[in-house]
Amino acid sequence: MTMKLLISNDDGISALGVRTLANTLAEAGHDVSVVCPDRERSATGHGLTLHQPIRAEIVESIFHPTVKAWACDGTPADCVKLAIWALLESPPDLVLSGINQGANLGTEILYSGTVSAAMEGLIEGISSVALSLASFTHKDFQPAANFAKNLVAQLAQKPLPERMLLNINIPAVMPSEIAGVAIARQGARHYIDVFDKRVDPRGKTYYWLTGELQEDVEPSIGENLPQNLPIDVHIIRKNYITITPLQYNLTYATGLHQLSEWEFKFP
């Protein structure tokens, strides 16, 4: 079954990951449109451009001949919103973001432009998937693209529930070394030495965001969340493809009950 797909990312229109993903899905017969930032916009979170115009230019000769592509000078979330409301003739059946160069696990998803692009699709009422290759150096995106192709075929027959985003991370190993696919809950990560203090040639102090992963922190168990589910940051080390369902509603349900017992006074 052919699907109308919108693909974006945060690594930019020229990134190998998005090219591999788009071409693989186009070769599988899907109607593929690509709208990506015109440059790398990693870790931009869910920012939107409000105080300046957004421009999008048609891109040719990068993708499979059937792929329609645009480079946008906005954020990943801008790209998806612009595609849905201005560039595409009709809404897509599915939004995919990636394939990102580097994992998006644990609390990193809060900063991720990759996840934010997919989340923008979800906000617009469209099922969405974020895909990441868990390496900053590995360049073979084809196994991850093949997994995405199989997933899209499955979703064409059995769509995702409403208001659900799949955050998927693929280990950077040979296909024969993949241990399987694991449904995982979101973990947490703790970084140290986040800023490197430096001095420029004019003697002015500046700071470079670096950060070193110190440990993966055991997250608290969410309300009604099965305790036997593996944690994404742990299970990917065992070469499992991790799939974590996400939502944009951040309401802390337990907190609602706790706060209802408080007595607030104003003024």
Give the pLDDT confidence of 67-92 residue by residue, as tens digits.
Answer: 999 999 999 999 999 999 999 999 99
In this structure, what are the phi and psi dihedrals at residue 34, rounded to the nearest 5 degrees?
-125, 125
Per-chain mean pLDDT for the chain? 92
Which CATH number among 3.40.50.1170, 3.40.1210.10, 1.20.120.420, 3.40.50.300 corresponds to the domain 4-184+228-249? 3.40.1210.10
Q: How far apart are the C-alpha atoms of 148 and 162, rounded to whole Å?
A: 20
Entry pTM: 0.92
pLDDT for the residue numbered 52: 94
Q: Which residues contact 267 (CB under 8 A, 6 or more apart)?
A: none
Nearest to 22, CA basis, from 70, 84, 73 = 70
Which among 6, 51, 5, 187 has a CA at the least distance from the CA of 109?
187
Q: Cα separation of 103 and 39, whole Å? A: 19
Q: Hey, which residues does 244 pair with through a beta bridge?
A: 167
Q: What pLDDT is stored for residue 11 in this prediction?
A: 96
The residue among 99, 94, 82 whose CA lies nearest residue 18 is: 99
pLDDT confidence bin for 48, thresholds 50/70/90: very high
Flag whether pLDDT at 118 surpasses 70. Answer: yes
Sorting pLDDT into bands at 50, 70 and 90, what band is 29? Answer: very high
- Position 221 scores a pLDDT of 55
Written as six digits, the tokens of 24 are 């693989």
Tell me, what DSSP letter sits at residue 231?
B
Residues spanned by CATH 3.40.1210.10 within the chain? 4-184+228-249
pLDDT for 28 equals 97
Q: How far apart are CA 101 and CA 114, in angstroms?
A: 10
* Range 101-127 average pLDDT: 95
Highest-pLDDT range among 157-166, 214-223, 234-243: 234-243
The pLDDT value recorded for residue 27 is 98
Does residue 215 have a pLDDT over 60? no
pLDDT at 220: 58
